[in-house]
Structure 1
Amino acid sequence: MEDDPLISIVIPVFNASRYLSFTLDSVLAQTYKKFEVIVVDDGSTDDSGKIEKQYELKDKRICIVQQENHGPASARNTGIRYANAGLITFMDSDDVIGPQYIEHLLMPFHDNGIDISITDIMEFRDNGLIRVDLNRIGNKSRQKGFMDNLSGSEALGKMLYQRDIDPSACAKMYRIQLFDDVRFPDNQLYEDFVTTVQLFSKTSRIAHLSYTDYYYRIRNGSRQRSHYTHRNMDLIKALYKINDLVINQYPNLLPALKSKYLSAAFNLIMKMDNQDLKKYSCDQIILWNIIKRNRKAVFFDSKARPRARLAALFSVFGLRLVSIVYSWYEHYKYC
C-alpha cells in the first residue's frame, strides 16, 4: 500500500443539526489530511442541509449526497457506492473523533495482511459525563499504543463476549473490497451487527489498537437509549441470522454466542417499563426463555463477562431481583 492513501469517511445524517458541526469539525481537525468526507443526507427536515452546504463550500474534500429517508443502513450503503478510496470508515452524525483517528487506524494497513483496524470507543453524554469501559480497567495488555493482531475468529469472539470490540460499524477502518458482496441491511435496528460479523468472517487478520479515538454521544431519544418497542427484537433476529455462520465456521464460539444471547435478552427486558411488560408480554416470554435456555452455560463459562455471569445467577431468583440490580448499576455507572 502507498504511504499516504486516500481514505473515505462516510457520515449518514438525519436531522442532526444540533451536533453536526461538532462532528465535521472533528473530521477536519485530523492530523492525516488525505481523505474525502461523504455526507449522506437521509432526508433531513431540520437545518442539517444548510450546515452541510456551509462545510461543503468551506472544504473541497466534503461531498454531500442527498437521498430520501431510508435509514442509516441505506445511507451507509449509499456512501459505499460513492467512495473513491481503497479504505473506508464510518461515523455517526452526532459523534466526534480524536485528531489522530485516521492516522492511528491507517498505521496497521502498511502491513498488507491487515483488512480491518479498530480503535477503542469512549461514551459521553451531552452533560459531559464520561462512561469508562469497566472491562478494560486493570487490563495491562491494553496500554496506550498497544496493538492486538487478531484473526477473524478471535475478533468475533471478543465481540460476542462484549470484551473490547464493539459491533458498531464505526471506530473501524476497512479495505473497501470487503464490501463487494456485503451491505448493511435496510429497515432494521442494530443494522451493523450482522454486517460486522460478516466482515470479520471474511478476513484473516484484524488489528485492534488500544488508542481511544472515537467518542460516542449518548443523547435522549437515541435509538440505543429509547424505550422498548417491538422493533427492538431486531437484535434477537440478528443473532438468529448469525447462528448458522457460527455453527458452521466457528463452532468453538458457541459459548460466546450463548453469552451474547443472554446479554441481549437481559438488555431488552430491562428496557421495558411496567406498561411495556403488559403490552409486549409475548416478547418478554421469548426473551425470558432465551435467558433460561442459556444461563447455565454462561454462568459456568469462565470467558463470559462477570456481569453476564452474575445476571445468569440472579435470573434464577426471578425478574424482579434482576431489575433491582440492573437499576442500581445504571444509576451508578456514570458516577
Structure 2
Amino acid sequence: MLISIIVPVFNGDKFIKTCLDSVYSESNSNFEYIIVNDGSTDDTGDILREFKDTHDNVYIITQKNQGLSVARNSGLKVAKGDWMYFVDSDDFLDSGFIEYIYSSIREIPNDIKLLSLPVAEINRGTKKILQNPIISTTITTEEFAKLLIQGKRQFGVWSFVFKKEFLDEIDLLFLPGKICEDQYFVPIALTNTSFIYCLSSNGNFFYNYSFNPKSITRSKRTNDKIKQQYEAEQTRNKIFYNNFSELSTIIRNNMLTVDFGALRGFYKLNNVIMVRKLKMKIRKENSIASLIFDYKLLIKYIFSQMPFMLKIFDR
C-alpha cells in the first residue's frame, strides 16, 4: 500500500523546508512525495532540488503558475498511491503523524473511502485544536456534513485523506481558477459515499494549519473575492441540500448566514448593486419565521452588528 503526499507550493522558500521535513518519513518506503512547484520565482526551486537529491521517493513537478487547483490536479494525475493526502506548503505535521495515518489506514474497513484527520491551528505560536474526536470512529457522511455546516469540522482538503480509486471513479478534480476550491471538492466527495472514518489524535498527532492573515481569502477583500467565496459556499450548501434531506433546516439557516456575510462584505465595499440584490433575495426567500428560527443568528446580526444593520436597511 502506498500513500501519495501532494504538496503544491508557490514562492514558499520561507516555509517549504519545514513542511517537507515534517511530512517525510525516513523509515517507510510506502510513501511517495509529489511536490508541485507552481511557477515560483524565489528560491523554492533550489530548495526542492536539494530536498530531492537527499531523500528517496520524492518527485518534483515544475510548471508555470496556474493556481492551487491546477497544482493539486497535476499531482493527482501522476500519483501512484492507493490514498491521496494533500498538504499545504505553509503548514506542517506533528512528528510521527504521517506514520500514524499509515497505520490507521491499514486497520480500517476496505469500504472506507475518506478519512477525516485531527487538525490544530497555529497562530502566533499558539496552538488551538480545531477538530479531534475523542476516539477514532466511523460515522455517516450526513452526520459529518452536519458538523461541517455547523463549523465543527474543517473543509480544507488537508484535513482529509482520499482513496485514489474513489476519486477516479467519480472523476473528481479541483476546479481551476477558483478560490475556496475545497468548498466544491469536499461536498462532492462526501455525497458520493456513505461513511467517513474520523481519526483521533490520541492527544499526540495533528495537522498544524498555519493561520495566515495574508492568504488569498483573508487578504484585502475585493468584490471578486467576496463573489467567489459566496458562490462557493452557496454551491456547497446546494450540494448538501440536494443529497442530505435530513439536514434541510440547518442548511437553509446556513444559506441565510452566507447571504448576510456576503451582504456585509459588499456593503463595506459600497457595492450598491450587490447589496440591493442580496437584500431582495433575503426578503424573498426567508420569512420572519425562518429568520428567527435560529435565535443565535438573529442575536448576532441584530445586536453585535447593530450599526451595520441600521445603516444597510436605510440604504
Cα distance change on mapping 1:15 and 1:280 into 2, 3 Å: farther
- Secondary structure class of the residue paired with 1:112: coil
Q: Are the counterparts in 1 of residues 5 and 34 from structure 2 also a CA contact under 8 Å? A: yes
Q: CA RMSD in A?
A: 2.8
Cα distance change on mapping 1:298 and 1:149 into 2, 3 Å: farther
Give the aligned partner of residue 166 of structure 1: 154
Give the aligned partner of residue 166 of structure 2: 178
Equivalence map 1:108-127=2 (5 Å):
108-110=105-107, 111-125=109-123, 127=124
Q: Does residue 280 of structure 1 match 2:276?
A: no
User: In the alignment, which of 259, 277, 299 is matched to residue 313 of structure 1?
Assistant: 299
Give the aligned partner of residue 155 of structure 1: 144
Give the aligned partner of residue 60 of structure 2: 64
1:261 counterpart letter in structure 2: M
Alpha-carbon distance in structure 1 between the residues aligned to 2:71 and 2:89:
12
User: In the alignment, which of 28, 44, 51 is matched to residue 47 of structure 2?
Assistant: 51
What is the CA distance between 1:71 and its match in structure 2?
Answer: 0.6
Q: Does residue 42 of structure 1 match 2:38?
A: yes
User: In the alignment, which of 180, 190, 207 is matched to residue 200 of structure 1?
Assistant: 190
Q: Does residue 130 of structure 1 match 2:127?
A: yes
- Secondary structure class of the residue paired with 1:10: strand
- Farther off after superposition, 112-121 or 223-232: 223-232
Cα distance change on mapping 1:280 and 1:101 into 2, 3 Å: farther
User: In the alignment, which of 78, 81, 85 is matched to residue 85 of structure 1?
Assistant: 81
Alpha-carbon distance in structure 2 between the residues aligned to 1:228 and 1:287:
18
Q: Are the counterparts in 2 of residues 98 and 213 from structure 1 also a CA contact under 8 Å? A: yes
1:244-294 Cα offsets, whole Å, 9 max, x none, are: 53343212222232343344445556667xxx7244343445556677756
**Structure 2: which 5+ runs fail to align?**
310-315
Cα distance change on mapping 1:102 and 1:32 into 2, 3 Å: farther
**Paired-residue identity, %:** 24
Cα distance change on mapping 1:178 and 1:232 into 2, 3 Å: farther
What is the CA distance between 1:171 and its match in structure 2?
Answer: 2.0
TM-score, scaled to structure 1: 0.79
- Secondary structure class of the residue paired with 1:210: coil
Alpha-carbon distance in structure 2 between the residues aligned to 1:30 and 1:161:
39
Q: Does residue 223 of structure 1 match 2:216?
A: yes
Aligned residues: 299
Alpha-carbon distance in structure 2 between the residues aligned to 1:109 and 1:174:
14
Alpha-carbon distance in structure 2 between the residues aligned to 1:289 and 1:132:
39
**Structure 1: which 5+ runs fail to align?**
137-141, 302-308, 324-335
User: In the alignment, which of 150, 169, 179 is matched to residue 189 of structure 1?
Assistant: 179
Cα distance change on mapping 1:108 and 1:284 into 2, 3 Å: farther
Equivalence map 1:96-107=2 (5 Å):
96-106=92-102, 107=104
Cα distance change on mapping 1:15 and 1:249 into 2, 3 Å: same
Give the aligned partner of residue 234 of structure 2: 240
Alpha-carbon distance in structure 2 between the residues aligned to 1:290 and 1:99:
49
Alpha-carbon distance in structure 1 between the residues aligned to 2:197 and 2:291:
28
1:197 counterpart letter in structure 2: P
Alpha-carbon distance in structure 1 between the residues aligned to 2:8 and 2:87:
8
- Secondary structure class of the residue paired with 1:18: coil
Cα distance change on mapping 1:193 and 1:29 into 2, 3 Å: same
1:190-237 Cα offsets, whole Å, 9 max, x none, are: 001111000011112211122251111112411232121122322221
